[in-house]
Amino acid sequence: MLLEQITIYSVVLLFCAGVVYLYLRREKKASAVVAAKIEKAKQEGLHEPVSLHPLIDLNT
């Protein structure tokens, strides 16, 4: 009985660890893509909004 429980828990733990590993690998790749886009935007000067303070016309 004890050997069966150890085997079952080991399989479940390995499965969960595999899922977490795959998730973290995918997120790292996605993060690298976003970082590259941010760096490209900074080089092109597009990393800030066009206007930080909008002009509001109170007469309309």
CA 55 to chain centre: 34
Q: What is the mean pLDDT of the chain?
A: 91
pTM of the model: 0.64
Structure-token match 């909004």, residue found: 49
Tell me the domain boundaries of the chain: 1-44
Q: Find all residues with CB under 8 Å of 47, minimum gap 6, and list them.
A: 38, 41
- For the stretch 25-43, what's the b/e string if a residue is b when 16 or more beta carbons lie within 10 angstroms of its beta carbon? eeeeeeeeeeeeeeeeeee
Return averaged pLDDT per consecutive 10 residues of the chain, 60 residues in all: 95 99 98 95 84 77
